[in-house]
Chains A and B, each alone.
Chain A
Amino acid sequence: MIDVHSISFRYQKDWVLQDISFQVGKGEFIGVIGPNGSGKTTLLKILYRLLSPQQGEVLFELAPLNRMSRMDIAKRIAVVAQETYPLFPFRVIEIVLMGRSPYLGYLMFESGRDLEIAKKAMEWTEIVNFSERPIDELSGGERKRVFIARALAQEPEVILLDEPSANLDIHHQIEFLDLILSLNRERGLTIVMATHDMNLASEFCDRLILLLEGRIYKMGAPKEVITKEIIETVYGCEVWVDQNPVSGMPRISLLRKGIHEIETVGRD
């Protein structure tokens, strides 16, 4: 579906991404992980052409992303990025209806059909109850769901998520990712998610792309990417990797400095 073909990108002088190639198949759930500044967000921005790479190209269903119109991109790729709110408080239904914008073009008002689609999106994300409330009165978890509903109203084929679990407690993290997973499994939506939370990525993603300093360090199933050796090399800190006892997926535990000595002393 998405074919990233040896792209390199720089803002100023230094390359932020170098020679990145990968493919995303239809219906896949891909996680992009990596340390701060490794280029995760930049990569996502290139995938919806907020930025254009200086070298290489991105193909969407075999067509160069560069030649697609903005409206066309917005009909097929939806983005849920880090928190953005309107300066003046819109109501939830108004925000979700904004997702119909790519289909309206220069039309001024949404039709009854647009409203139906927005309502369905709100049912999926379970936000119908507060559809009349201003967005700034909602909690962080509720707001996230509003923006997913807006993305669904775009009727996209792909949803790009940037740090979706940031600022959410574990209850809302899992609830949110379960929602994303159900969209992925039941509606065949392709998901590309950039995240810092490797345990969540490991649980939910089909494949992971691990970035380091703008290059792909490792790509593959969570079991291939999340190993003690790789994570310690890439992040430069000590970790313990075992399996989530329930799901069997790789699980990372952080280790505090010097914990080995304490462990040894304890054993003696």
Chain B
Amino acid sequence: MKILTPKKVLTISILLSLLLILVILFSIMVGSVKVKPLRSITILLQSVLGLKGAGTETEKAIILSLRVPRALLAGLVGAGLSVSGAIFQALLRNPLADPYILGVSSGAAVGAIIAILMGLSTLSVGLPLASFIGALLTIFIVFHFGRQDGKIHPNTLLLAGVIIGSFLSALIMFFISISQKEELHTIIFWLMGDFSLSNYEAISVILPYIFLGFLILYLRARHLNLILSGEESALQMGVDVERLKLISYLLASLITSASVSVCGLIGFVGLIVPHTVRLIFGPDHRLLLPSAALIGASFLIASDTFARTLLAPTELPVGVITAAFGGPFFIYLLRTRKVVKTL
């Protein structure tokens, strides 16, 4: 009888990490400015090893200050959105759930737009900080209204999230309607997801949220399996369901907030990556969460690489690529395998 063992999780994680490394290497080899593929790798290697050598200053700058941080940030965000999407799908028991379902994205957008309208978008800190604050405030409000007598009812929380999200969307449209042309371009790009402002600070700021959030959620992976059969069923197995829900919702929301604050709203990743991984590896969160993180990272780095090279030197919003490539692939999976129970 096949059962999930730590060895299997480890083996698959290592294989997926290798895939991720390949995708990262590919993404730093290509770009609108031509740097020879092998030289890109050499520059990266010697920088990692602290050596001096090949490459002009310009080439080094392109590889080390543009492409590498961009790939790393896209990877982190891809992992974060995929993990939080998987968590929301499990907790809300809804296959349509994604990281933005509780309105976190709209809150982040309002914060970002206010920052842009106030002229803070040129500062590297102002925009992410404002959108992070917007997202946190939204989480606070949604949880305030979504809880009844100290308990989280998934449907109440979902409704609170959707309604507060709609209200914030109205604010977004209002701000867009009063904004000037230059601001408009920045706002639209932010709303569609954009990694062009990636830097190492952004990575170091969101890394703890995503890494620690993942770690704490992963320790509860087995209990998340139980909650897929319903809250009462998890409780019958001795799980402190209310605590599990509170921790998981908050961490998934925090991971989402941190992710969107540095790159705007990238759709689709958090919806289809968890489903895709379930179709391949099954619904067990002990395998699902690490696989979703690694595949989500690879997927978003690859999408962003296409977004910046397909029509180079013009950059496409990465959301266009995630949906354009992810959608058909997902339909293919849907046609060949079963996504959710058919009872």
**Chain B nearest CB: distance from A110 CB in Å?**
7
Known: A101-B222, A109-B4, A119-B1. A136 touches B238 (CB 8 A): no
- What count of chain A residues pass the 8 Å CB interface test? 42
Could you say which of B118-126, B197-205, B225-233 contacts chain A?
B225-233
**Contact mask for chain A residues 76-113; partner B; CB cutoff 8 A; 1 contact, 0 none:** 00110100111111110111011101101011111000
A157 to B17, CA, bound (A): 45
Q: Please name the 7 residue pairs, one residue from A and one from B, whose CB atoms are nearest each other, closest first.
A: A74-B238, A88-B283, A71-B238, A102-B238, A86-B228, A101-B237, A84-B230
17 contacts between A and B (CB under 8 A): A70-B239, A74-B237, A74-B238, A81-B233, A84-B229, A85-B341, A87-B95, A87-B341, A89-B283, A90-B225, A95-B229, A98-B225, A98-B237, A101-B222, A108-B6, A110-B3, A132-B2
**Chain A nearest CB: distance from B279 CB in Å?**
10
Interface residue A219 (Cβ < 8 Å from any Cβ of B) = no
Interface residue B308 (Cβ < 8 Å from any Cβ of A) = no
Q: A81-B232, A94-B225 are in contact. List 15 more A-B contacts (CB 8 A).
A: A50-B236, A70-B238, A74-B236, A84-B229, A86-B225, A88-B340, A89-B340, A90-B225, A90-B228, A90-B284, A101-B226, A101-B237, A101-B239, A109-B6, A131-B1
Interface residue B90 (Cβ < 8 Å from any Cβ of A) = yes
Interface residue B56 (Cβ < 8 Å from any Cβ of A) = no
A75 and B238 contacting across the interface, CB-CB below 8 Å? yes
Interface residue B215 (Cβ < 8 Å from any Cβ of A) = no
Residue of A nearest to B278 (CB): A88
A97 to B225, CA, bound (A): 11
Neighbouring B residues of A115 by C-beta, 8 Å:
1, 3
Of A48, A87, A94, A135, most B-chain CB atoms within 10 Å: A87
B3 and A89 contacting across the interface, CB-CB below 8 Å? no
A89 and B338 contacting across the interface, CB-CB below 8 Å? yes
Instruction: Categorize the interface residue count of chain B.
Output: 35 or more
B341 and A86 contacting across the interface, CB-CB below 8 Å? yes
Neighbouring B residues of A16 by C-beta, 8 Å:
none
Neighbouring B residues of A135 by C-beta, 8 Å:
341
Tell which of A70, A79, A87 touches B93, judged by Cβ atoms closer than 8 Å. A87
A90 to B224, CA, bound (A): 13
Neighbouring B residues of A136 by C-beta, 8 Å:
338, 341-343
Residue of A nearest to B240 (CB): A70
Residue positions of A touching B, CB distance < 8 A:
48, 50, 69-75, 78-79, 81, 84-91, 93-95, 97-99, 101-102, 104, 106-110, 115, 119, 131-132, 134-136, 154
Residue of A nearest to B230 (CB): A84
**Chain A nearest CB: distance from B333 CB in Å?**
14
A136 to B233, CA, bound (A): 17
Known: A86-B229, A89-B341, A93-B1. A106 touches B238 (CB 8 A): no
A84 and B233 contacting across the interface, CB-CB below 8 Å? yes
Residue of A nearest to B234 (CB): A101
Neighbouring A residues of B222 by C-beta, 8 Å:
101, 104, 107-109
B286 and A101 contacting across the interface, CB-CB below 8 Å? no
A94 and B284 contacting across the interface, CB-CB below 8 Å? yes
Neighbouring B residues of A102 by C-beta, 8 Å:
237-238
**Chain A nearest CB: distance from B276 CB in Å?**
13
Neighbouring A residues of B237 by C-beta, 8 Å:
74, 98-99, 101-102, 154
A85 and B1 contacting across the interface, CB-CB below 8 Å? no
Residue of B nearest to A99 (CB): B237
Known: A87-B90, A87-B228. A106 touches B219 (CB 8 A): yes
**Contact mask for chain B residues 269-312; partner A; CB cutoff 8 A; 1 contact, 0 none:** 00000000010001110100000000000000000000000000
Residue of B nearest to A110 (CB): B3
Known: A93-B3, A98-B237. A84 touches B90 (CB 8 A): no
**Chain B nearest CB: distance from A90 CB in Å?**
6
A108 and B219 contacting across the interface, CB-CB below 8 Å? yes
